[in-house]
Structure 1
Amino acid sequence: MEIQILLFTILGTAVGTLFSLFPSLHIYNVAGIALLLWQMFRDVIPELAIAPFFMAMITAFSFINTIPMTFFGAPDESATVTILPGTKYLMNGKGYEAAVVSGIGSMAGIFLLVILTPFMWYILPTIHKVVSPHMAWILALVMVYMIMSEWPKGCGIGTTLWQRFSHAWGNLFAGLLTFGLSALLGLIITSKSLISVEMGFQNIMPVFVGLFAIPSIFQNLLSREKIPPQHISDTVELSWRDIGKATFQGGIGGMLAAYLPAVTAGIGAIIAGHATALRGDVLFILSGGVAKVLYYVGAFLFLFVLTPLSPMGLGKGGLNVILKPVFSPQAGDFTLMLGVIIFSGCISFLILLAASRWTLKILQIIDYKKLYWFALVLITAIVGHLTGMAGLFVMAVSSCIGSIPVFYHSRRSNCMAVLLFPICLNMAGYGDIVASWLGLQ
């Protein structure tokens, strides 16, 4: 049994690494396909392999997806004031350093998960028991905070009053519009799903592909900038103090995202960044690596926290939803999963270092836009195959909404209102009432 677990841990790491290299392809899409394949060959693939395989896959993704996020996107001049620090490093020829710093942050996140084990077992279930009845207004506060944090946007740039007003308030209005349309879309898809019952576990996939993946692909295909020559350094400018600060900030954001429903690492990072008031590109990249691990890996790991106060675990997130119909955690799985995370995380960090170098060499030969064309075809084919024409229609509508923050430079986290708003209403007991007002029931 130990050999099988080791083999499927390595296989999960390999699969997660491979598909994490494709720009805009999310690992949850791959997880859905992997689950279908397992159901087809379940007589050959043992059930005990499910948890190690998917845990290793999501761990690898939390490391390796740094590569497409950092290297596969050169913003044009219209977006230079809103690009993320990782992209700034890329445009300054230091993309490899950004990838390494993010990987160090992810390793710090793995270490944080290990030392938080007593907290998960002895404190988190009690917190969950106290907090869960109040989750509706907590999520409402998160949404209010997201909207309020859009202000202020400055006085604007221009020679006329209208130019200054539109420059200062244009992206703010875009953020509010994105939030409102995403919330409305969320109410529609949660009340009347267009996806067939057989593919119900992928009900939300076309929405997220449209809101996040397709707009990113279009943005990079339309960009006219070229990736500048990159320098591969043998050292990075980091101190233990930086790592400690980033682990603290990323830990707060990641834990919030791992526990609160529909709160992503991006939203958690906004809250944690304002709470800790830590600034700087290095700290941003480091804390992002920490938060990614806690958000993706930690959220799935919570599923294995089986205590008298949490007999069904505390897991959340897309992977938990995908596996829930076919998998139930057992007592003792937590320690096993922690070992899988450490093993896969160490391998993934080493792969990240090598793959970043290979990527830089490949980008000297191949135009990265060809990768985006391939990703566009692949993602569209996956959505069409799994969800049919209805899924493609939902993806197209979602793409229109998701393009607003991309091309008007507002926060893309506002798109998460697609889940935050309906979940908050349902937890408060008003979901059916609002749906009936809109004629959705």
Structure 2
Amino acid sequence: MDAFSAFVPFLLLFGFSLLGVALGTVTGLVPGFHPNNVAFILLSVSPVILERLRFLTALVPSETLLVLVAATVVAASVAHTFLNFIPAAFVGAPEGETALALLPAHRMLLEGRAYEATVLSATGSFWSVVFSFLLLVPFYFLFSSLNFYETVQSRMLYILVGISALFILTESFSERWEAHWAVLLASAVFLLSGLFGCVVLRMPVPVSPFPLFSSLRSTLLFPALTGLFGLSAVLFSLLYTPEIPEQETEEPAVERDSRTDRTDRTDRTNRTNRTEERAELVKSAVSGSAFGTLVSFLPGITSAHATVFAMLARRNRQPEQVITTLSGVNTANAIFCLATLFLISRPRSGATIAISQLLPLPLQHWETAVPPLALLYLLTAVLVASLCSFFITKSAGKQFARAFVKIPYRKMLVGIAVFLFLLVFFFTGVLGLLVLLVGTCIGLVPIYLGVRRSNCMGVILLNVILFYMYFYM
């Protein structure tokens, strides 16, 4: 009985992690769901969840139950970073002249290679987990022994302004505009979304219009991010629906076992090229993991910023490498944000904000090379979610590619838009719908102008910069 009792927390951890994977799979397959929104929703319903799970305190302490719910949030966030590539690849591809501003995944979609893009994304995320875990201990020593964060904190304003300026300047590589026009337009989008964020973050906390759920915690960042990055892309796709070719569903060359070529001894060139492609993908995953650390401790900096800088460092802008790097950054961010929370007690993502509010305070600080027990639980949830999500992403991507040409595309987009409207209204009411509409209008601006939509992250970043300006004054 004692041996069984010792295994109960781990069995529950595995079960809660699988629950998080299921939730992250569902939210990841819904276009327009920003990763932070997943955490905000789970945080909103956490009081109800904890009340329903009170009976488990007979098996584990209440503090462990809080960690298990936090593990669900972590697993959902990690699964979301794997699965959300599928709707991002299949929804939102423009047509005509606007195709000059295509995202790499959309280029591959219009070439009939969306499944290959999905496999590359899953591979990048999976390898990123491996390399991120290898980097965790060096990351700990960097923060704990070298006073690294204290040095960064004292110069945070200049670092954030410098990164923002450099990110905007990279728009000068635009294929649609001359360099000075691209930089000017990107700056305008950044400032416009930043002003929008200034207003939203100073508005009253929204309340659900349904009395039964009025106690749920929410934030207006949910409809703001949904409008900027989700509904805007869906509406644009409704207005400019491209001709989508039939998608290839056979395994990409980089995934095939080289043993299948051994019957043909003359095919050594293909095997060599495949080895080189795999090496490039590993390099992209490594660079994504390394630059993903930036997102974890710099406030307001997103995976898009880290991806652009990683691609500049590698000087390889092929769509395959961009996809692998971006997926690697996204997943590494989820892992290192956890480490940052336990190292400096500052949440840098929606998931860690939720975790910091779920776990009993003060958090156990990471003071030795061995992480604290709560962090080990959460990292285990990351491993479970990553392994499951890798195979789920490949399977779902193949099924989606097969069925995509048979799906009534416009009806699907209308259904997604209605779902997003209802979800925002459910959690934030009429005020949230107003924020959603304004955010959608702003989110359409970079799509029409042909600059990166990630400039809209000024909604958070500009506010962080203004905070540090006030702090230093």
TM > 0.5: yes
Q: Which of these residues, 225, 231, 236, is aligned with residue 208 of structure 1?
A: 225
Q: Residue 94 and residue 50 in structure 1: after superposition, are their counterparts in 2 closer, same or farther (change >3 A)?
A: same
Q: Which amino acid aligns with 1:148?
A: L
Q: Which residue of 2 aligns with 1:109?
A: 128
Structure 1 47/372 Cα, relative in aligned 2: closer, same or farther at 3 Å? same
Partner Cα distance (2:83, 2:339) in 1? 19
Q: Cα offset for 1:59? A: 1.1
Deviations 1:92-128 (A, max 9, x none): 1111111101111001110011101212321134321
Could you tell me whether the CA contact under 8 Å between 1:153 and 1:169 is conserved in 2?
Answer: no
Change (3 A) 1:32 1:152: closer
Q: Which runs of 5+ in 2 are unaligned?
A: 1-8, 54-64, 208-214, 255-273, 365-371
CA deviations 1:27-72 (Å, max 9, x no partner) are 4333333333331242332323212111111111111111111123
Deviates more, 1:117-126 or 1:400-409: 117-126
- Map of 1:346 onto structure 2: 387
**Matched residues in 2 for 1:176 and 1:27: separation?**
24
- 1:301 Cα deviation after fit: 4.2
Q: Tell me: CA distance 1:362–1:216, structure 2 relative to 1, closer, same or farther (3 Å).
A: same
Q: 2:342 aligns with which of 298, 304, 308?
A: 304
Unpaired runs of 5+ in structure 1?
Answer: 157-165, 434-441
CA distance in 2, matches of 1:189, 1:18: 27
Which residue of structure 1 lines up, in the alignment, with residue 158 of structure 2? 137
Identity in percent: 25
Q: Does the aligned pair in 1 maintain the 2:224–2:436 contact within 8 Å?
A: yes
Q: Partners in 2 of 1:21 and 1:65 — Cα distance?
A: 6
1: distance between equivalents of 2:381 and 2:456? 32
CA 63–52 in structure 1, closer or farther in 2 if over 3 Å, else same: same
In 2, the alpha carbon distance for the partners of 1:284 and 1:381 equals 34
Partners of 1:83 and 1:315 in 2: CA distance: 33
Tell whether the 8 Å contact from 2:296 to 2:337 is kept in structure 1 after alignment.
yes
CA deviations 1:391-428 (Å, max 9, x no partner) are: 22222222222111011111112111121112112123
> Which residue of 2 is the match for residue 436 of structure 1?
none
1:437 is matched with none
Contact 2:25/2:80 (<8 A) preserved: yes
* Structure 1 match to 2:286: 248
Instruction: Please show how residues 373-388 of structure 1 align to structure 2 within 5 Å.
Output: 373-388=414-429
Question: Contact 1:210/1:402 (CA < 8 Å) preserved in 2?
Answer: yes
Partners of 1:179 and 1:52 lie apart in 2 by 34
Counterpart selection for 1:267 from 297, 305, 316: 305
The match for 2:212 is none
RMSD in angstroms over aligned alpha carbons?
2.4
What is the TM-score normalised by the length of structure 1? 0.87
Query: Could you state the TM-score of these two structures normalised by the residue count of structure 2?
Result: 0.81
AA of the residue aligned to 1:26: H
User: For residue 420 of structure 1, what is the amino acid of its counterpart?
Assistant: L
Distance apart, 1:140 and its partner CA:
1.1
CA distance in 2, matches of 1:41, 1:153: 47
Contact kept, 8 Å, 1:75 with 1:220, in 2: the verdict is yes
Q: Is 2:112–2:247's contact at 8 Å kept on the other side of the alignment?
A: yes
In structure 2, the partner of 1:290 is 328
Alpha-carbon distance in structure 1 between the residues aligned to 2:100 and 2:217: 40
Q: Secondary structure at the match of 2:357?
A: coil
> Within the alignment, does 1:178 sit opposite 2:189 as a pair?
yes
Partner of 2:87: 68
Superposed displacement of residue 169, structure 1: 6.2
Find 1:195's aligned residue among 180, 193, 205: 205
The answer to which of 391-400 and 92-101 deviates more is: 391-400
Does the C-alpha gap of structure 1 residues 423 and 270 become closer, same or farther in structure 2, counting only changes over 3 Å?
same
